[in-house]
């Protein structure tokens, strides 16, 4: 059974640039959620994708967008990067939208300079 994998593991960007983060969900999971974890904070919900459609969104601006593909892998795109976007971005997959148990990847550490 393959777990949740994320790429890249680390990324450095400058303010105003755009970034794409990738996630492969666990085998058999059709739902992917993205979380942002700032230093010293808990993970904060960005959005969830279910069967290729956005299916729930947290308090993040539209410059945070995503995609889910037919194989249930997912991308997180962030436009017009700001310094405060520096954080660990976590992808989590689950069997369904109910979210009783999420399986997390190791995350992508994004630094915006």
Binding site for other proteins (CB under 8 A): 4, 33, 35, 40-45, 48, 50, 55-58, 90, 92, 97-107
* Residues in a beta bridge with 94: 31
Residue 68 in tokens:
């889910």
Shortest distance, position 110 Cβ to other proteins, whole Å: 15
Nearest to other proteins of 48, 112 (CB atom): 48
What is the DSSP pairing of strand 53-57 with strand 44-50? antiparallel
Nearest to other proteins of 14, 96 (CB atom): 96
**Residue 33 and residue 95 in contact, taking contact as beta carbons nearer than 8 Å:** no
Q: Residue 24, class by beta-carbon neighbours within 10 Å (0-12 exposed, 13-18 middle, 19+ buried)?
A: buried
Nearest to other proteins of 17, 41 (CB atom): 41
Rounded CA separation 87/36 (Å) = 6
Shortest distance, position 16 Cβ to other proteins, whole Å: 29
Nearest to other proteins of 86, 99 (CB atom): 99
Shortest distance, position 15 Cβ to other proteins, whole Å: 26
């Amino acid at each position: 059974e393959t777990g949740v994998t994320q790429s890249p593991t680390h990324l450095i960007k400058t303010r105003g640039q755009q970034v794409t983060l990738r996630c492969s969900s666990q085998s058999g999971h059709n739902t992917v959620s993205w979380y942002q974890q700032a230093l010293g904070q808990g993970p904060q919900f960005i959005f969830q994708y279910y069967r290729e459609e956005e299916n729930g969104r947290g308090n993040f601006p539209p410059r945070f967008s995503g995609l889910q593909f037919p194989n249930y892998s997912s991308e997180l795109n962030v436009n017009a990067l700001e310094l405060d976007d520096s954080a660990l971005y976590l992808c989590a997959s689950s069997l369904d939208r109910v979210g009783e148990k999420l399986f997390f990847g190791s995350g992508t550490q994004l630094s915006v300079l």
